[in-house]
Structure 1
Amino acid sequence: MKKAFKIIGWTLLTIVILLGTAMGLFIYKVKNGFPVSYETDKPTIDFPNNQKAILVFSKTTGFRHSASIDASKLVLKQLAQKNHWFMYETEEGGVFNPEQLAKFSTVIFDNSTGEVINDEQKRALEQYVENGGGLIGIHGAGDDSHHWDWYEQNLLGAKFSHHALAQQFQTAEIQKDSKADSTVSNGLPTSWKHADEWYVFFENPRVKGFNIIYFMGGDKIDTNGSMPILASDKNFGMGKDHPLAWCKSIGKGKTFYTSLGHNEVAWKNENFVKLIENAISWTQMK
């Protein structure tokens, strides 16, 4: 009988260790991404004349929002056709070189997570924006896996903390800010309801000079993202002023970020799609 109890005990301990290891690896991937090689070969791109060009980049080394990425490609392609934009979609980082970046009016980090481009490519993107280019980040592009100071300061304006775990998806009322940029908010309702995975940041980008387009009452949702032992200090939110979409002029360029867009549901929402369309148009304005 004692032998049987020992076997059961060791079996349970092994299961706990394996589960703990798996959870630890998952958290590491979410926060850092798994190391990968960086693509450096310049792609061959046939840029058409008289068309604004947008680069859609959805490479991931961290958590992959597959459903949202897949849905976004179709919608963004439709927006490109509607607005006569040339769209180049890739998960290869070789396109982040000064010569080719200069031909794009807007770069979209489409739920791109982890460290996806090397230091030289990061500097090329920074200079591209500061010299007049546009940079857009969608949902996962704002998580804590990028480890890139310029990116955090100039696209996000805040450091990501967590999202709710027990109630990962919650419906909330999204409200247009009274001082929202008129171009980005053009044609959009003053409020609408949407269910998403709501990101919580340590700071409010409003304080850093970003123009808030939409916000919600963060005090009306569950923001508890704590996990025993692994992350026990995540039971807090951003309060009544919880920004969801914001933008800013950076040097001669422009950046826009929205934490909306965890899954394909967002890309079926006409208000969200209009927000992205407006953001692209705004980044193209000189």
Structure 2
Amino acid sequence: MKNKALVSFCLSCLLACVSLSNPAFGQNKKPAFRVVAIAEKDGGVHAPFVAAAKEWLRQQATAHNFTIDYIETTDPINDTFLANYQVFIQLNYPPYRWTDGAKAAFIRYIQEGKGGGWIGFHHATLLGEFDGFPMWPWFSEFMGGIRYVNYIPGFAKATVNVEAKAHPAMKGLPPSFEIEKEEWYSYNKSPRPNVNVLATVDEATYSPDSKIKMGGDHPVIWSNERMKARNIYIFMGHHPDLFKNEAFKTLFRNSIFWAAGHSNRNTD
């Protein structure tokens, strides 16, 4: 009996030492912040990008101690729901098919900036009349007053040039970087007069070349600083190979921490 008691005591001491030396052992740490991402159910041609994004976000959440939840429609969105999150990611969801209640809550979330930030990708500037839905005028203004015009359906490689090198979301990025496969939306005008442009695509570098161009000034990453919430739009977001692109991953990671109001971290 004495031997069993001694063994039990030694095991208890060992477990206590392991728990103290490894914070992940035993009680979990409180998350640094909470993230919610919206992506259309099934996702169609964007499903592979969403799948790759979810895996990468899982890794980031584990490495950097934040949580991430997913929704597939705007039905759950209201003030109470949004209050649970410090970052809202529009991962793959267009600015239509939103419920009226979700629209109102999201507008307050962005305009009043009550503790939350926003990251929008790709589809967030699909602004116009689609699938029988009218354009959401407020969202168009949020994106700089633009309207979607066209896209490169066959994809093109192109060079993205960083403009706002001092912005926290651009930390650690090279002056320019290549995106291998993207649709490169064109708009009825540049959003530049109404937003802080962080990066543009050089249309002269389209490969293969395309006639679908805006004619020079073509922003692809920007922030609307008229809104109180930290926000950033990143046009790229169609192809899963983006998660093999170090510049894109750095941009996405920086944006998460900036939107959440935390310091940037540039490690995987």
TM over 0.5: same fold?
Answer: yes
> Structure 1 residue 203 and structure 2 residue 189: aligned?
yes
Per the normalisation by structure 2, the TM-score is 0.75
Q: Deviations over 1:171-211 (max 9, x none)?
A: 1111111x344201101111111222211111112121x22
Residue 164 of structure 1 pairs with residue 152 of structure 2: yes
Does residue 253 (structure 1) correspond to residue 229 (structure 2)? The answer is yes
Q: Distance in 2 between matches of 1:193 and 1:203?
A: 24
Structure 2 residue 167 is matched with structure 1 residue 191: no
Determine whether 1:273 maps to 2:249.
Answer: yes
Work out which of the two has the higher radius of gyration on C-alpha atoms and give 1 or 2: 2
Q: RMSD of aligned C-alpha atoms?
A: 2.3
Task: Give the whole-Å Cα distance in 2 for the aligned partners of 1:162 and 1:124.
Answer: 30
**1:103 match: secondary structure:** coil
CA contact (8 A) 2:35 2:88 kept: yes
Task: Tell me if 1:134 matches 2:110.
Answer: no
The 8 Å contact of residues 156 and 257 in structure 1, kept in 2 or not, is answered as no
**TM-score for both structures, normalised by structure 1:** 0.71
Q: Which runs of 5+ in 2 are unaligned?
A: 1-28, 263-268
Deviation at 1:68, TM superposition (A): 0.8
**Are the equivalent residues in 2 in contact too, given 1:57–1:108 (CA < 8 A)?**
yes
The 1:161/1:62 distance shift into structure 2, 3 A limit, reads farther
Instruction: Report how far residue 81 of structure 1 moved.
Output: 2.0
Secondary structure, in 3 states, of the residue corresponding to 2:63? helix
1:154 corresponds in structure 2 to 142
Mapped partners of 1:95, 1:200: distance in 2: 32
> For the residues of structure 2 that align with 1:75 and 1:118, how far apart are their CA atoms?
29
Report SS of the residue matched to 2:223.
strand
Change (3 A) 1:114 1:130: closer
Structure 1 outlier segments of 4+, above 4 Å: 60-64
Count of matched residue positions in the alignment of Structure 1 and Structure 2: 224
Give, in whole Å, the separation in 2 of the partners of 1:72 and 1:49. 24
2:75 match: secondary structure: helix
- CA separation in 1, counterparts of 2:223 and 2:166? 8
2: CA distance, partners of 1:173 / 1:110: 22
**What letter corresponds to residue 142 of structure 1 in structure 2?**
T
Check conservation: 2:157, 2:179, Cα contact below 8 A: yes
Q: 1:73 and 1:62 mapped to 2: Cα distance?
A: 13
CA distance 1:269–1:76, shift in 2 (3 Å)? same
Among 61, 64, 67, the residue aligned to 1:83:
64
CA spacing shift, 1:105–1:249, aligned 2, 3 Å: farther
1:62–1:113 contact (8 Å) kept in structure 2: no
Would the aligned equivalents of 1:248 and 1:256 in 2 still touch at CA under 8 Å? yes
- What is the CA–CA distance in structure 1 between the aligned matches of 2:42 and 2:241, rounded to whole Å? 23
AA partner of residue 183 (structure 1): P
| Native 8 Å contact 2:161 2:200 kept in 1 | yes
Measured at CA, do residues 156 and 69 of structure 1 come closer, stay the same or move farther in structure 2, by a change above 3 Å? farther
Inter-CA distance 272–55: structure 2 relative to 1 (3 Å threshold): same
Equivalent position of 1:40 in the other structure: none
Cα distance, 1:264 vs structure 2: 0.5
Preserved CA contact (<8 Å) 1:68 1:263: yes
Q: Alignment partner of 2:102: what SS?
A: helix
State, as a whole percentage, how many aligned pairs show the same letter.
26
CA contact 1:107–1:135 (8 Å) conserved in 2:
yes
Residue 83 (structure 1) shift: 2.2
Which letter does structure 1 place at the counterpart of 2:55? L
Deviations 1:248-273 (A, max 9, x none): 23432122111112110112212111
Change (3 A) 1:215 1:251: closer
